[in-house]
Amino acid sequence: MRYGLIGSSGRMGKEIIETFKGHDLVLEVSDTGIFRHGEPEIIIDFSNREALKTAIEMAYQFGAGIVTGTTALNQSDIADLRRLAERVPVVQSFNFSTGINLLRMILKEYSSLLEEFEAEIIEVHHSAKKDAPSGTAIMLKESVGRDLPIHSVRTGGIPGDHRVFFANEGEVIEISHRVISRKVFAIGALKAAMFCAERENGFYSYEEVVRWMQKR
């Protein structure tokens, strides 16, 4: 697979390059410029919102699918990705961890049984993370299916820690997920890229990638 990488010099970019060994990195976009060695089939973007426009432009230019895990996107950004998805496959998620997406499935399935419980989310990330609440916390809130408080903590070098609490007067249910290495996101990006390679167009979530992997 020939792939392009937005943010190749960043921490996540380096994890992706390591995880994608055996595939051809033919396009790199970093702070130092754009380096092209061929035409990519897939564009990988885990950089920042400011670089999304470049990623989309390159996807149009090369007719390449796109896998984007960039956070802090707004509705206009999502609309741009959906328009692109009419031409090429797009996988968009705020979290490419298999565990988080399984947690989302569990919440969608069982949260309706906990409507009488109060619910809150606590999310903890490294101190350099710019957006709060995290895109993942927002996804979890949507999976619960009701409005609930989100508490954000930014400290140290924590890759990602999310906890959903359900509580009443007599008991507490806590569902949690902790990332211990950014590598899980790079592995998720690789799975999503493989998923894209089998599709002509469409807008997909990482949850759909997880279901696809289970059927293989």
> Is the domain of 152 the same as that of 206?
no
Query: Is this structure's pTM higher than 0.75?
Result: yes
Q: What is the CATH number of the domain that holds 175?
A: 3.30.360.10
> Is the domain of 91 the same as that of 29?
yes
**Strand blocks (E) in the chain:** 2-6, 24-30, 33-36, 42-45, 65-68, 89-92, 118-125, 150-154, 160-167, 172-179, 202-204
Torsion of CA 124, 93, 82, 41, to 10 degrees: 130
- 71 touches 23 (CB < 8 A): no
> Is the domain of 88 the same as that of 163?
no
> Is the domain of 81 the same as that of 105?
no
Cα dist from 175 to 99, 123, 167, 186, 207, whole Å:
12, 12, 12, 24, 18
DSSP percent split of the chain into helix, strand, coil, nearest 5? 40, 30, 35
pLDDT score, position 215: 87
127 three-state secondary structure = coil
Q: What is the pLDDT along the chain (216 residues), one digit of tens a residue?
A: 999 999 999 999 999 999 999 999 999 999 889 999 999 999 999 998 999 999 999 999 999 999 999 988 999 999 999 999 999 999 999 999 999 999 999 999 999 999 999 999 999 999 999 899 999 999 999 999 999 999 999 999 999 999 999 999 999 999 999 999 999 999 999 999 999 999 999 999 999 999 999 888
> Is the domain of 107 the same as that of 121?
yes
> Is the domain of 91 the same as that of 11?
yes
By annotation, the residues acting in catalysis are 125, 129
Q: How many CB atoms lie within 10 A of CB 73?
A: 17
Structural domain containing residue 140 = 98-179
> Is the domain of 170 the same as that of 210?
no
> Is the domain of 12 the same as that of 91?
yes
pLDDT score, position 72: 86
Q: What is the CATH number of the domain that holds 14?
A: 3.40.50.720
pLDDT score, position 145: 97
> Is the domain of 71 the same as that of 9?
yes
Give the residue among 22, 21, 60 at the shortest CA–CA distance from 40: 60
> Is the domain of 26 the same as that of 84?
yes
pLDDT score, position 31: 87
One-letter amino acid at 38 equals: G
Bridge partner residues of 128 (DSSP): none
pLDDT score, position 212: 96
pLDDT score, position 181: 93
Copy the structure tokens of residue 189. 């990006």
Copy the structure tokens of residue 128. 């350099």
> Is the domain of 155 the same as that of 187?
no
Give the residue among 123, 94, 51, 107 at the shortest CA–CA distance from 185: 94
> Is the domain of 66 the same as that of 124?
no
**Domains in the chain: how many in total?**
2
pLDDT score, position 216: 82
